[in-house]
Structure 1
Amino acid sequence: MKPFFLPVILLVGVTVTNAQEKKVPHKAPVAEIRQAAVAFLEGLGPELRQQASFTLSDKERRAWSNLPATSFKREGVSFKEMSPQQRSLAHQLLQSTLSSQGYLKTTGIMHLDELLKAMAAERRPNNTPMFGHDLYWIGVFGDPAKDSSWGWQLDGHHLALNITVIGDEVSVRPAFMGSDPARLPEGTYSGWMVQGAEDEKGKQFFASLDKKQRAKAVIDDIAPRDVITGPTRGDQLKTPTGLPASDLDADQRQLLISLINEYVHNYEHNIAHIQMDRILAAGLEKIYFAWAGTEEGKPYYYRIHGPTVIIEFDNHFPPGRNSGAVNHIHTVFREPGNDYGEDLLRKHLLESPHHQVEE
């Protein structure tokens, strides 16, 4: 019987084909996000549509907060004002831009606020509700049906998402996510953590540092009370401090990248990869890691700061307390020079023919 070589030939062919494959560039799902935003606005009806609509330059675009609704007035349309059908369209808008991970964190924060509402009602039954799933607002900036540059925002207690579409690109920063309690201590959802990965990965990376590396990474023995670049404070950090990634070994670099990915991959797959490519293209060695809070059982804080990324995390005492369990997380995810898509907008204005002034 003659030897049968076909399987070997096929295997060789597959190998050659795979070797010749080129990396396909990631493209942000601009059409899908636009479609979801248009559907959301059309589903609101005239009055709520006007309430939800702003110009791209409106000051409301930068007016977001992590405070409860009774402490900071929001604009736009709240979930309280939406019908069930309109809420469904709002969730489709979230899903168009977020990954499954990011969507579950976002809705988890909103649900956690509902639990806070119930706990607050038990303590003070006659007070005006300051927490709850209803108290989150959506605003749309510009006209997604016509404009090449526009955006949308979700704003409420412990949650602010700022999305800007510029041509075929998407900016997803700044973003604020927080959780209180960080870990639910009792009840039906006992043990539930919305932001457990951000917490555990940060501690794991810090634990991997040797004595010499920690000496550079620790910027203070006491953690700050809050993130530095919170609402209205986006320009507070100018120069990276702490431990440069160039001082890390290969395993530690992978831990750092995994930690950054935890924030990046809150967004749709293609958006996340474009974000990560942008961060790494600026140079991993230019990224610094800083830590504050060295006493066991006390608040702690970490920061990742490079040319195109600022990530901050703190786990502190509950509001109004200076002791007890450390169980209150704040995080922020920013892009120096490109928050709200500022850099992309400048580039778009320079390169788009319809924005050029004829001489």
Structure 2
Amino acid sequence: MTPAQSMTDAARAWLDSLDDTQRAAAALPWPSDEERHRWNYTPTDHGGLPLGDMRPAQQAHAMRLVATGLSHPGFVTVSTIIGLENVLDKAEGWRLGQRGRERLRDPALYWLRVFGEPGAAGPWSWRFGGHHVSIQHLVVDGLVRASTPCFLGANPAGSPLLGGHLLRPLAAAEDLARDLVRSVDDARVLLSPTAPPDIVTGNRPRVGRAPAVEGVPAADLTTAQQEQLRALLGVYLGRIPDELAEREAAKLAGPRLDTVHFGWAGDTEPGRPHYYRVQGPRLLVEYDNTQHDANHVHAVWRDPENDFGDDVLARHLAEFHSGQQASSS
């Protein structure tokens, strides 16, 4: 079964399980562009039906849909990030009644919403989001055509486990990049001695004026360093199902990687504030770990030209309308 078919089946099963009131919050007609382009990674209302307003069986249907949009490691990572809300709640002293909520840090406050009618005909999309998670996929004519912006974060980034081990959901995104920057003997790789306080693009629906392309181009890296960069990008592309991740990786195959730039800001020592960016045609990755004594990660993958499938939808609309005009003439 293709990813699009899996998403369609899971979305229909979830929607069919809801009552009328729940469905009114869970589903919006296509295109609902203003709402569809709204996304966040902070603990705010992400729009849709929260897990806390679903019965257990409905939650299972919801998480089944979420799983169709992620690889298995991606789903495990997202599930872990959601569970960290309990850890964060304890660290903050169980602050009740904050920001108008009975509970501020709440693993039940993750929202799911479907736009349009799930099926093989025409476009539809879905979004799952809450604190430190934002996942969305666009399906057009039975194919998944866009999967960005895709955000994952972790607070705390590292938590103690029994036996002296650390729980680090986004460890690979940090460790691979640090190993890479330490291996590069090129001053261009260091963007700034100070890391920015957050990802530069924030949660803007459209990147618009993206950060300047800085850093060292992959064309000037050694073969081993290029492989390290591919492995780092694989951590981001590997969030989504394998079939979709392979398609995205193919866009960076061979010499296409040469124009991708890698840059680092801040300290290269573990436990110190740091930031990095990987940027190229149709690609923007940002990672920031500066807050809470550099124990709070934000990491986003975007396609500046096709976030939310805007480029695909524009071409689809042009082809659809030109086809209509031709058939009516």
Same fold by TM-score greater than 0.5: yes
Deviations 1:85-135 (A, max 9, x none): 001001110111210011011111111112223443x35356531112101
CA distance in 2, matches of 1:61, 1:195: 27
Task: Name the aligned partner's letter for residue 303 of structure 1.
Answer: R
Counterpart residue number, 1:19: none
Relative distance call for 1:263 and 1:46 in structure 2 (3 A) is same
Deviations 1:27-66 (A, max 9, x none): 9521111111111111112221121111333212122211
| TM-superposed deviation, 1:335 | 0.4
Describe the SS at the equivalent of 1:75. coil
Find 1:337's aligned residue among 291, 305, 319.
305
Q: How many residues align?
A: 320
Describe the SS at the equivalent of 2:85. helix
| TM-superposed deviation, 1:187 | 7.4
Can you give the 5+ residue segments of structure 2 that lack an aligned partner in the other structure? none
CA distance in 1, matches of 2:17, 2:231: 39
Deviations 1:291-344 (A, max 9, x none): 1003645310110000011000011121xxxxxx32110011000210001111
Relative distance call for 1:307 and 1:295 in structure 2 (3 A) is closer
Aligned positions of 1:136-147 closer than 5 A: 136-145=110-119, 147=121
Residues 1:60 and 2:35 are matched in the alignment: yes
Can you give the 5+ residue segments of structure 1 that lack an aligned partner in the other structure? 1-26, 319-324
Conservation of the 8 A alpha-carbon contact between 2:287 and 2:297: yes
Counterpart residue number, 1:124: 95
Residues 1:252 and 2:220 are matched in the alignment: no
| TM-superposed deviation, 1:263 | 0.5
CA distance in 1, matches of 2:279, 2:184: 17
| Deviation larger for 145-154 or 250-259 | 145-154
Counterpart residue number, 1:237: 210
| TM-superposed deviation, 1:147 | 4.5
Counterpart residue number, 1:21: none
Relative distance call for 1:95 and 1:262 in structure 2 (3 A) is same
Residues 1:86 and 2:54 are matched in the alignment: no
CA distance in 1, matches of 2:300, 2:64: 24
Q: Which structure's CA Rg is the greater one?
A: 1
Deviations 1:164-214 (A, max 9, x none): 11222331100111101100147799611111111111111112212xx2x
Task: Name the aligned partner's letter for residue 335 of structure 1.
Answer: D
Residues 1:201 and 2:176 are matched in the alignment: yes
Describe the SS at the equivalent of 1:66. coil
Conservation of the 8 A alpha-carbon contact between 1:245 and 1:284: yes
Relative distance call for 1:135 and 1:281 in structure 2 (3 A) is farther
| Deviation larger for 340-349 or 195-204 | 340-349
Conservation of the 8 A alpha-carbon contact between 1:220 and 1:292: yes
Task: Name the aligned partner's letter for residue 176 of structure 2.
Answer: K
CA distance in 2, matches of 1:334, 1:281: 21
Find 1:47's aligned residue among 18, 21, 24.
21
Counterpart residue number, 2:257: 284
Relative distance call for 1:84 and 1:308 in structure 2 (3 A) is same
Relative distance call for 1:188 and 1:166 in structure 2 (3 A) is farther
Counterpart residue number, 2:152: 177
| TM-superposed deviation, 1:347 | 2.4
CA distance in 2, matches of 1:99, 1:228: 27
Residues 1:313 and 2:287 are matched in the alignment: yes
CA distance in 1, matches of 2:195, 2:203: 19
Relative distance call for 1:245 and 1:146 in structure 2 (3 A) is closer
Conservation of the 8 A alpha-carbon contact between 1:162 and 1:174: yes
Task: Name the aligned partner's letter for residue 130 of structure 1.
Answer: L
RMSD: 2.3
Conservation of the 8 A alpha-carbon contact between 2:161 and 2:167: no
Aligned sequence identity (%): 30
Relative distance call for 1:279 and 1:338 in structure 2 (3 A) is farther
| TM-superposed deviation, 1:241 | 1.2
CA distance in 2, matches of 1:245, 1:186: 37
Counterpart residue number, 1:164: 138
| TM-superposed deviation, 1:283 | 1.4
* Length-normalised TM-score, structure 2: 0.90
CA distance in 1, matches of 2:31, 2:295: 37
